[in-house]
Each structure stands twice: as structure tokens, then as C-alpha cells.
């Protein structure tokens, strides 16, 4: 046997014998997608990612998960700026008598102004005599209370300026659950429970539109 052939044969034999007996690399050749083809070769070679190492898909999902938030985008008819709205319905709630509408968190960027408001299932809301105070709790954090203002139709309590709304919204970042309680006019307190996970991703277009 020529010396050059012996030099090549040794490493080649070692490579072939190191692969699993059932390895069939040929099936990977027909895969057009580069990532899928590489994964196929890894599988046939017996390679497994280290435990706890996130895949590319996991990382992509983490960056695109908007949770249960609904996102609406429209153009302002007044100045052609981008208006962005986020909505989230409560998954548990207590309502005023004879009211069945969902409790809702709404966040908006309208003509470069950020607002946040809570709707309480059709209850009549007012900020007189301390009724505009909203108590909220994020995950297992201590509950806090903040004064809100009534909406023009008295169906919501809100923070109607960016200076008030933006810090409140940022408090929600990094949390998954939010409980919101308020007292409608001449009624008992009502409470909504929200799954706010994904807000950091969902709110990105709104933050871009309102420049914060």
C-alpha cells in the first residue's frame, strides 16, 4: 500500500467508525434550509445540544412573544403620525350588578401622547370623593394605590398624560400578573385579574411611535 494512501486511510477509518451505526448522512442532502440541514447532520452524528442551552427558535420566540395583548395600529387623521393601541381583557373579574362586559387595560399612543386607562366592565366610574383611587398588585409585590381620573363617558379611570402613564406602564415590565381594584360610583368594589406577560414586547411599536 502506498504511504500516502495509508496516511489518508487512518483518519478516514477513525471518522467512519466513530459515527453511530445507523447514521445516514445522505438523507440530509435534500434539505434546502441551511438550519434544518445542519440539524440533520447533528442528529445523525449523535450530537445533542447542552442541557439548558436555548435553541434559536426559543430565542426568537422570547423576542416576539406578545402574550394575550391585542395591538392595533392606525394613522392619525390630524397629523399623519402613527397611533398605537394595546388592549388586554381580564381573565377573572367581579362586576357591578347587571354588568357583564370584560374589564380591560388599554394603553395608547395618540399623536405622540401616551395614555393608560382601565375599564371596569361597564361600571359607572368617577373620581369624586376619592372614588378615582385604583389599587393594583403586580405578581407577589405589595399592593399600591394611585389616583386616576375618570374618562369623559365615565366608563374608565385613566392616566391621561405621558408624565403619569409612562412610569406606571414601566412598573408593569418584568411581571406576569396584575390585579386591579376600584370602586364604582355608588357600588361595591370591583376587581380584575390580568395576565400581563409579554407587555415589554407588545408595547415596542407604541414606545417607538411616542418616542420613549
Confidence of residue 77 (pLDDT cuts 50, 70, 90): very high
Which residues lie closer than 8 Å to 87 by C-beta, 6 or more apart?
69, 70, 72, 104, 105, 106
pLDDT for 123 beyond 90: yes
pLDDT for 63 beyond 80: no
CA angle 127–152–199, rounded 5-degree value: 80
pLDDT for 29 beyond 90: no
pLDDT at 4: 47
24-53: average pLDDT? 63
Is 67-209 a CATH 2.60.40.1510 domain? no
- The reply to whether the predicted model has a pTM over 0.85 is no
- The whole-angstrom separation of Cα 35 and Cα 57 is 11
Domain with CATH 2.60.40.1880 in the chain: 67-209
- The whole-angstrom separation of Cα 37 and Cα 160 is 53
pLDDT for 131 beyond 90: no
pLDDT at 129: 80
pLDDT at 130: 77
How does pLDDT run across 141-182, given as a tens digit for each residue?
999 999 999 999 999 999 999 999 999 999 999 999 999 999
pLDDT for 59 beyond 80: no
Amino acid at each position: 500500500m502506498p504511504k500516502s494512501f495509508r496516511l489518508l486511510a487512518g483518519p478516514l477509518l477513525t471518522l467512519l467508525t466513530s459515527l453511530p451505526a445507523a447514521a445516514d448522512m445522505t438523507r440530509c442532502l435534500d434539505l434546502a434550509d441551511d438550519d434544518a440541514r445542519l440539524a440533520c447532520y447533528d442528529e445523525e452524528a449523535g450530537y445533542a445540544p447542552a442541557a439548558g442551552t436555548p435553541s434559536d427558535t426559543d430565542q426568537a420566540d422570547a423576542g416576539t412573544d406578545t402574550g394575550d395583548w391585542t395591538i392595533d395600529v392606525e394613522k392619525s387623521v390630524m397629523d399623519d403620525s402613527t397611533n398605537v393601541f394595546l388592549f388586554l381583557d381580564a381573565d377573572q373579574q367581579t362586576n357591578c350588578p347587571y354588568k357583564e362586559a370584560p374589564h380591560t387595560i388599554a394603553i395608547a399612543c395618540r399623536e405622540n401622547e401616551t395614555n393608560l386607562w382601565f375599564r371596569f366592565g361597564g361600571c359607572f366610574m368617577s373620581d369624586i370623593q376619592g372614588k378615582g383611587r385604583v389599587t393594583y398588585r403586580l405578581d407577589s409585590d405589595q399592593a399600591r394605590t394611585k389616583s386616576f381620573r375618570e374618562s369623559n363617558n365615565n366608563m374608565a379611570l385613566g392616566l391621561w398624560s405621558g408624565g403619569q402613564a409612562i412610569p406606571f406602564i414601566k412598573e408593569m415590565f418584568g411581571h406576569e400578573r396584575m390585579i386591579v381594584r376600584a370602586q364604582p360610583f355608588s357600588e361595591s368594589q370591583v376587581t380584575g385579574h390580568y395576565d400581563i406577560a409579554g407587555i415589554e414586547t407588545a408595547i415596542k411599536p407604541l414606545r417607538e411611535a411616542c418616542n420613549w
